[in-house]
């Protein structure tokens, strides 16, 4: 599936660079944890972003079904959904992001 087709294009128009950076941070994005040339994969050693309050950018990702929220008001965890991982993979030029936790 091409990055700029259908749903991906619509979601990309609704996401900021800061949100993409937060998504990368949540999975521990590290170029040294990638494999392949033709079928590139990135190995994520985590899938969460912790905050002490609700974050507008993450709440937008939750509304777009690219992330989920859990925890209490004082300690909130955001995680990328399967769709969120797939979206970030396409955006970063990977075939997939594999969780290794």
**What pTM value is reported for the model?**
0.82
Residue 63 covered by a domain: yes
Domain assignment of residue 34, given as a range: 6-99
* CA–CA distance, 71 with 39 (Å, rounded to integer): 36
Residue 58 covered by a domain: yes
Residue-wise pLDDT for 22-39, tens only, equals: 999 999 988 777 777 777
Residue 1 covered by a domain: no
Say which residues have a Cβ less than 8 Å from residue 54's Cβ, sequence separation at least 6.
69, 73, 76
Residue 92 covered by a domain: yes
> Can you name the residues that pair with 68 across neighbouring β-strands?
79
Residue 28 covered by a domain: yes
Residue 50 covered by a domain: yes
Tokens 């990055």 found at: 3
- Confidence at 1, pLDDT banded by 50, 70, 90: very low
Residue 14 covered by a domain: yes
Q: What does the block give as tokens for 80?
A: 């990328």
Element (H, E) at 17: helix 17-26
Residue 23 covered by a domain: yes
Q: 71 — phi, psi (to 5°)?
A: 100, -175
CATH of the domain at 73: 1.10.10
* CA–CA distance, 12 with 77 (Å, rounded to integer): 23
Q: How many structural domains is the chain composed of?
A: 1
Per-residue pLDDT, 79: 96
The DSSP bridge pattern shows strands 49-51 and 34-35 to be unpaired
């Amino acid at each position: 599936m091409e990055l700029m087709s259908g749903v991906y294009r619509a979601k990309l128009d609704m996401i900021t660079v800061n949100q993409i950076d937060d998504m990368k941070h949540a999975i521990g994005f590290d170029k040294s944890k990638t494999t392949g040339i033709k079928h590139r994969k990135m190995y994520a050693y985590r899938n969460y972003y912790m905050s002490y309050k609700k974050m507008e950018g993450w709440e937008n990702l939750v509304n777009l079904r690219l992330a989920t929220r859990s925890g209490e008001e004082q300690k909130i965890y955001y995680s990328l959904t399967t769709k969120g991982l797939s979206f970030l993979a396409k955006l970063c030029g990977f075939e997939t992001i594999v969780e290794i936790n």
